[in-house]
Every structure is written in C-alpha cells, then in structure tokens.
Amino acid sequence: MLTNARGDLYIKVVLTAIAVFLGVIAFRPVVHTTDTVMAQTDGPEIYVEPGVTTIRSPNGSTQGDGKLMINLKNGDVWGFPTMYAGAPYPVDPLNNKPAVAKGIYLGRFDLSSMK
C-alpha cells in the first residue's frame, strides 16, 4: 500500500510540473512583448542601371558617361558621373587618389501614378 501511494504521488507531481511548464511556455508571448518585426527596410531601395549611360545634367552644364541609379521608394533618378568615357566606376586619371562621384539629380518617376 505504501508503494502504491508513493507511485500516485510521484505521478501527480510529475504531471503537475509538466502542466506548470507548459503554462509558462504558453503564456510567455503574452508577458514578453517583443518588437514588431517588419519585412520592409528603412533604407532606400536603389536600382542601379546596368552598364554605363550618358548623363546630362538638367541645366545642360555637364554631360558624360556615368551610372544611373533610381530610388524605388520615391522614384528619384540620380546620375553619378564616372569622369572617364566607358568607365563603370569613378576614375580620375590625373590624380592618384580614389575619385568620388557626386550625384546629379536628374528627375523623378511618379511611381504613385501606377496602380
């Protein structure tokens, strides 16, 4: 009889512990609210036109080859002169330092008009 009572007590304690731990696992998301996860990024989504394109500033002051980039969030179009015909990146043959291309704002695509 004593052995049977100990066995019942053991089973009840184990089942109670399992129920408590399952309750903790089930209610943890309610207690610990986490930050909302979103698939969108905060940075701009940039499309880089393949190859090199002739870039002309809107006022006509400069013209030359460069890379064309479009911000897909707002439709802004930027041109980055490469300073050397056909070069895929900024090149300054007269200077032995890395060249930096400043962006030229070329215009905007009205992406909101697309439905």
Position 86 in a domain? yes
Structure confidence by residue, pLDDT tens digits, 1-11: 446 777 789 99
Range of the domain at 66: 46-110
Q: Which of 13-22, 61-70, 82-91 has the lowest mean pLDDT?
A: 82-91
Count of structural domains, the chain: 1
**CA 80 from centroid of its chain's CA atoms:** 22
Secondary structure of residue 28 in the 3-state scheme: helix
Position 28 in a domain? no
What pLDDT, on the 0 to 100 scale, is given for residue 3?
61
Give pTM, 2 decimals: 0.57
Token readout for 79 is 């041109």
Position 58 in a domain? yes
Distance CA 111, CA 47 (A): 14
Position 77 in a domain? yes
